Structure 1
Amino acid sequence: MASSLEIKKELYVQCFDFVENRFNTIQNTINEIQESLTSETKSSAGDKHETGRAMLQLEREKAGSQLAEIQKTKESLSKIQISNTSEFIGLGSVVYTNKSNYFIAISAGELKVDNDVFYAISPHTPIGQLLMGKTVGNAVVFREQQFKIEKIF
């Protein structure tokens, strides 16, 4: 069985990979849009051409804001000190409850370490806000289910 630090490191790496994959996908999308904008030449159907360019510009803006969001997510992730532990739940905490396990970091969905399932959640999500600052033995109620905090590291 992996140690607390090994589990936390593995969860961190999985979150980092999640962010990198999203970043690369969006970067590729932006590059493709840029190529489309550059390669599109003036056609005889002028209005259709302008509409196409406008749509590409909108797509580029959307991808740009997604990129900015990923940058913020990367910054949040970079603030986590893996070796830090606390008796109170905070950014970077691994939390075991009687229902589910959580890694308070970024919203990256379901992660697995060994045979354990963890949910990588942002401290800004509803469940994240409920858990922040709590300690072992505390209980939180989320969506009419009660969770008892069993372990934090």
Structure 2
Amino acid sequence: MMNTQETIAFKQQLKQFCETLITQRIDIARAASTHAQQAANQEEKSSAGDKYETSRAMGHLEKDMYTRQLAENLKELARLQEVDTSRIYTLAAAGAVITCTHISFFIAAGLGKQEVDGRTIIFLSPYSPLAKTLQGKKAGDSFLFNKELLTITTVC
């Protein structure tokens, strides 16, 4: 069992983990977008004009896809930075860690299932359906997850 200081430090570690992962995704999307733009710009005009136009169009579509991913990740990072991990929660909310028997959930950013310090944590966006289901639940409450009834042991 962790004391208040350890709990807050752990939650801040989880938030930092999220920031690192999202920042990596931002860097990758930025680099991929730039690469796709450069590839489209460098496509040489050949005697087969259609091939040239198709390659340029594909490059632009790829750049647009990475630009959308970049925008989503930037939005996710901005939302994450608003999450308060400096306090202990008694009800599930953004910034809370919800612990069940075999698994924990952290409501801050939608990064899915991750391993942190040997613990399996499911990172949820506060806007995800599961986070909305958990909203307001407390220790002792139950909810359905992957067709399994889980009981919350702690909320912090």
Tell me whether the two structures share a fold, i.e. TM-score over 0.5. Answer: yes
Q: Does 1:92 align with 2:86?
A: no
Q: Secondary structure at the match of 2:69?
A: helix
Q: Does 1:64 align with 2:70?
A: no
Match of 1:83 in 2: 86
Q: CA separation in 2, counterparts of 1:113 and 1:74?
A: 19
Once the two structures are superposed, residues 83-132 of structure 1 have per-residue CA deviations (whole angstroms, 9 ceiling, x without a partner) of 02221111110111123111111111333343322111112333222211
Moved more, 57-66 or 121-130: 121-130
Q: CA separation in 1, counterparts of 2:13 and 2:33?
A: 30
TM-score computed with the length of structure 2 as normaliser: 0.89
TM-score computed with the length of structure 1 as normaliser: 0.91
Aligned residues: 153
Supply the AA of the counterpart residue of 1:17.
T
Q: Secondary structure at the match of 1:146?
A: strand
**Unaligned segments of structure 2, at least 5 residues:** none
Q: Retained in 2: the 8 A contact 1:91–1:104?
A: yes
- Residues 26-41 of structure 1: pairs in structure 2 closer than 5 A: 26-41=29-44
Supply the AA of the counterpart residue of 2:70.
L
Cα displacement (A) at 1:47: 1.1
Q: Retained in 1: the 8 A contact 2:113–2:122?
A: yes
Q: Retained in 2: the 8 A contact 1:14–1:111?
A: no
Q: CA separation in 2, counterparts of 1:101 and 1:62?
A: 32
Match of 2:144 in 1: 141
Q: CA separation in 2, counterparts of 1:47 and 1:145?
A: 54
User: Sequence identity, in percent?
Assistant: 29
* Misfit runs of 4+, over 4 Å: none
Q: Does 1:18 align with 2:16?
A: no
